[in-house]
Structures are given as structure tokens and as C-alpha cells.
């Protein structure tokens, strides 16, 4: 057996340090200053995960091809899997390998904006005819860095057939009515989970709108208020549902969809695109007719229903071809014929007043109902302003899970979550 003597150890340490130093001296791939935007540029890039999503790629490709043909330009497309998208885009933007237009989830905007390489699209936003709520999803520190492509929300969806069988009349409007409806559904038996709420740590951020429902602002100024009386009450209520088996353990969004698709859940949380996703998984071909969006129940009548804003924006990387890419972003998100054709194919609601008023969109009852009941009062997650928002959500989710499994009282757990989240506010 080889032994490492002191001399060899010093040599090894020295060589390791040399290696580390050499690695640190690797040239900055960003290179020098990139050339500025050119509205007449004939070639630019477009990066989008939707280019590879089975349900959306044809519609996105049609938009890209139509613009390229109309303006005589070449658009180089690239795509990464959704779950790895932010990491890849961040790495490539830092390395100077990303240019042109880039699709983003609205929650990722701050992380990329912090790198200071995104173009201000205020001029395009001003003439696009976007709704105020949609525009807010692309704004970062008073700059319009993203043009909204689709704006919706994460809200509650109900299976009206299950509710009818359970004897639930109308949609519950308050938390008390909601809990009552869940208890009625539970009595149906047959393995039905009354509310397929998120209980896995990875998805437990879904509890944030419930915290707001109970009166917690989540943030006041720069102070995280998780751990206040309202958020503690929300988590204790969630724990009560958990103990009463009105929500099930180990459920994330995919599990919830599967349960709902099989008719084994009366309520669950999802985005407006839920209809198509769940229908594709369901043996019940008429499930979409039984699906109904509902405003999140409020603590007391008169309160504003809470929902989480959700959507996609297109940002543009400052540099070569950025003006042309900005024009493409404007076209893809605000040209009425384009956005309504896009809606017809993928059922993602447009972001302009004209697009939403178009008969093709306004005539879709599910989308209209969703917009009226859920998106209308949806607000962004206040943690999105921080690049480390995902870690903040994880810190809260882990502590909520500790409460659910009985490891900690809600007050202590949320105090710990706030403490962990504090240094992540940057």
C-alpha cells in the first residue's frame, strides 16, 4: 500500500494549487465588447424551450418561420429541456454564447437581469398594446426587460362531476366552505383525494398563495414576513387538512395531474394550460367538460382571491442583432393575427388587449373564465425579485414539510425558514 509522506503531501498540495491557479486564469469567454444592435440585421438567434415541447413546438416554429419569411431574415433557433433551461441560459449568457431573443419563465427574469446583459424593451412595450398585468411580468427594477408572450396564473381547478357526486352545491368561496366541500368529497371514499395539493418539498411553494389568503404579505419592503401570525395560521390549516387526509402526502404537480386525470381528485392547483395536459393523461374523454377553474377561496367574504401570476416573456440579449431580435419579440407577442393563431394551437392566452378581445380567444369559455376568476387578481411571487428566489422558496417549503410530517410546530418552522431565507435576499 502506498503511503503519503509529508514531502509528497507538500508536493501534492503545491501542484493542486498550481492547477487551481491555472484554471482560474482561464480566459473570460465573454470576450470583448459585443457589437451593438442593428435593426437591419439579417440573422439573429432565438432560444426557447417551447421549440422542443411536443404540444407547442409546431406553433412556435410557425411563428418563427412566418417572421423569417416576412422580413427575409434567418433565425437560428436553440432549445434546452425546461428543467435545465435556466442553468443553461445563464451559463451561455455569462460565456457570451447567447444572443438574440430568449424565452423565459417570468420567475427567471430577475436571475438573468442581474447579469446586466438584457436590452431595455420599453419602446416595444409602449406600442404593443399589452395589458398592465402582462407588462408587469416583464418588468425588473422599473425597466421593461421582457415582452409578455403569455400571461396566466396558477389557480385552483375543480372536477365538477366529483363535486356533484359528493353533494357540493356551487363552488366554495371561503376557506370554511372549501374545507366543508373537501370533507364531503372525502366521504365518497374510493381512493379519492379531495384536494391534490402539493405536499412534496419541490412543489410546496404552492402554499404561498394560501399564506397570502390568510393575510400574510410574504414580504414588506425588503423584509420577509414568513413566520408572521397569518402565515403560521395558513400552515396550521394545511397541516389540519393533511392530518384529516383531505390532502395526500408526497404529491407534486405531476402526481396531482395524474390523480385529477383519473378522476381521483376533486381539486388541484395548475396553470391555465392544465386543460390540455390533464386531458391527454385521462381515460375519460369528457374530462375537459367537467373541469372548472375557481377563484381561490378567501378567509372572509369580501377579501381578494389570491393567485400566483404565471407566464412566459421574451427578452433580448444586448449586442449583435439585438434590434432585429427585439422586433421579432414584439411581433411574436403582440401581432394580433400571430398571437391569436398561437392561442388556437396551444391555448396559451395572449397578452395584448386586442388579442384577448379577439373572438377566437374571447370565445373560448375555459380561458375566459380562468382569466376572469383567477388571472384578474393574480400577483407575482415577491421573492422573484431576487436571483436566489428558488432557494428562498426551498427554505420555506422544507420547513412547511417539517410541519406536515410533525417534526416541528408551524411557528418555529417558519421562523427558521425566514432566518434561512434572509441571507438569500440578493
Summarize as ranges the residues that interact with other proteins (CB under 8 A).
2, 4, 8, 11-12, 15-16, 19, 23, 26-29, 49-50, 52-55, 78-84, 88, 91, 95-97, 191, 254, 257-259, 261-262, 264, 271, 273, 276-277, 280-283
Q: Smallest gap, in angstroms, from Cβ of residue 419 to other proteins?
A: 27
CB 152 within 8 A of CB 370: yes
Smallest separation, CB 259 to other proteins (Å):
6
Contacts of 53 (CB under 8 A, 6+ apart): 82
| Residue entry with cell 407575482 | 380
Q: At 253, is the secondary structure helix, strand, or coil?
A: helix
Nearest CB to other proteins, comparing residues 53 and 398 = 53
* Shortest CB 52 distance to other proteins, Å: 5
- Contact yes or no for 153/375 (Cβ under 8 A): yes
Q: Which is nearer to other proteins, 78 or 163 (CB)?
A: 78
What is the distance between the alpha carbons of residues 85 and 51, in angstroms, rounded to a whole number?
Answer: 12
Rounded distance, CA 136 to CA 124, Å? 14
Distance separating alpha carbons of residues 324 and 268, to the nearest angstrom: 42
Is 252 strand, coil or helix? coil
| Residue (47 or 338) nearer to other proteins, CB | 47
What is the C-alpha R_g of the chain? Answer: 24
In the complex with other proteins, the residue whose CB is nearer, 26 or 69, is 26
Provide, rounded to whole angstroms, the least separation between the CB of residue 262 and other proteins: 5
Residue nearer to other proteins on the CB measure, 105 or 120: 105
Distance (Å, rounded) from C-alpha 396 to C-alpha 406?
Answer: 16
Which one, 258 or 341, has the nearer CB to other proteins? 258
Min CB(297)–other proteins separation in Å:
25
Query: Which helix (H) or strand (E) segment is 279 a member of?
Result: helix 274-281
Shortest Cβ 251–other proteins spacing (Å)? 10
Place of cell 384578474: 376
Burial of residue 83 (number of CB atoms within 10 Å: 0-12, 13-18, 19+): exposed
Contact 177, 186 (CB under 8 A): no
Nearest distance, CB of residue 258 and other proteins, angstroms = 4
Least distance from other proteins to the Cβ atom of residue 226, Å: 27
Instruction: List Cβ neighbours of 388 (8 Å cut-off, separation of 6 or more).
Output: 424, 425, 426
Nearest to other proteins of 228, 255 (CB atom): 255
| Nearer to other proteins (CB atom), residue 79 or residue 306 | 79
Residue 316, burial from CB neighbour count under 10 angstroms (0-12, 13-18, 19+):
buried
Longest Cα separation, the chain: 81
H-run or E-run covering 413:
helix 410-421
Q: Which is nearer to other proteins, 97 or 379 (CB)?
A: 97
Residue given cell 374571447 in the structure block: 362
Residue 397 φ then ψ, to 5°: -60, -40
Quote the least distance from Cβ 257 to other proteins, whole Å: 8
| Calpha distance 285→277 (Å, rounded) | 13
Closer residue to other proteins, CB minimum distance, 281 or 304: 281
Shortest Cβ distance from residue 260 to other proteins (Å)? 10
Closer to other proteins at the Cβ: 12 or 126?
12
In the complex, the smallest distance separating the C-beta of residue 271 from other proteins, rounded to whole angstroms, is 8
The DSSP symbol for 295 reads P
Amino acid at each position: 500500500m502506498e503511503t503519503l509522506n509529508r514531502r509528497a503531501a507538500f508536493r501534492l498540495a503545491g501542484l493542486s494549487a498550481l492547477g487551481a491557479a491555472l484554471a482560474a486564469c482561464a480566459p473570460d469567454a465573454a470576450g470583448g465588447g459585443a457589437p451593438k444592435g442593428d435593426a437591419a440585421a439579417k440573422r439573429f438567434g432565438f432560444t426557447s424551450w417551447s421549440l422542443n415541447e411536443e404540444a407547442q413546438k409546431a406553433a412556435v416554429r410557425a411563428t418563427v418561420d412566418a417572421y423569417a419569411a416576412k422580413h427575409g431574415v434567418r433565425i437560428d433557433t436553440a432549445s434546452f429541456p425546461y428543467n435545465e433551461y435556466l442553468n443553461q441560459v445563464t451559463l451561455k449568457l455569462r460565456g457570451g454564447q447567447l444572443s438574440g431573443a430568449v424565452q423565459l419563465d417570468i420567475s427567471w427574469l430577475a436571475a438573468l437581469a442581474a447579469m446586466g446583459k438584457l436590452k431595455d424593451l420599453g419602446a416595444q412595450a409602449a406600442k404593443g398594446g399589452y395589458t398592465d398585468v402582462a407588462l408587469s411580468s416583464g418588468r425588473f427594477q422599473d425597466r421593461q426587460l421582457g415582452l409578455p408572450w403569455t400571461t396566466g396564473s396558477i389557480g385552483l381547478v375543480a372536477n365538477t362531476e366529483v363535486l356533484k357526486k359528493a353533494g357540493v352545491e356551487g363552488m366554495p368561496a371561503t376557506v370554511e366552505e372549501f374545507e366543508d366541500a373537501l370533507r364531503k368529497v372525502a366521504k365518497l371514499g374510493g381512493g379519492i383525494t379531495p384536494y391534490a395539493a402539493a405536499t412534496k418539498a419541490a412543489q410546496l411553494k404552492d402554499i404561498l398563495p394560501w399564506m397570502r389568503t390568510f393575510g400574510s404579505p410574504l414580504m414588506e419592503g425588503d423584509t420577509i414576513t414568513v413566520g408572521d401570525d397569518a402565515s403560521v395560521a395558513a400552515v396550521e390549516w394545511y397541516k389540519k387538512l393533511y392530518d384529516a387526509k383531505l390532502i395526500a402526502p408526497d404529491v407534486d404537480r405531476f402526481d396531482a395531474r395524474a390523480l385529477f386525470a383519473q378522476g381521483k381528485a376533486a381539486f388541484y392547483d395548475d396553470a391555465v394550460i392544465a386543460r390540455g395536459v390533464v386531458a391527454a393523461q385521462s381515460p375519460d374523454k369528457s374530462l375537459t367538460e367537467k373541469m372548472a377553474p375557481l377563484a381561490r377561496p378567501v378567509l372572509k367574504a369580501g377579501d381578494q382571491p389570491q393567485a400566483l401570476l404565471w407566464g412566459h416573456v421574451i427578452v433580448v440579449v444586448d449586442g449583435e442583432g439585438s434590434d432585429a431580435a427585439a422586433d421579432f419579440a414584439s411581433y411574436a407577442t403582440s401581432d394580433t393575427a400571430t398571437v391569436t393563431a398561437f392561442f388556437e394551437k396551444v391555448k396559451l392566452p395572449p397578452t395584448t388587449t386586442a388579442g384577448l378581445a379577439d373572438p377566437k380567444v374571447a370565445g373560448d369559455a375555459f380561458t375566459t373564465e380562468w382569466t376572469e376568476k383567477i388571472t384578474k387578481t393574480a400577483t407575482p411571487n415577491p421573492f422573484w425579485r431576487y436571483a436566489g428566489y428558488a432557494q428562498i422558496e426551498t427554505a420555506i417549503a422544507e420547513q412547511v414539510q417539517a410541519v406536515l410530517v410533525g417534526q416541528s410546530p408551524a411557528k418555529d418552522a417558519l421562523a427558521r425558514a425566514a432566518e434561512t431565507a434572509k441571507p438569500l435576499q440578493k
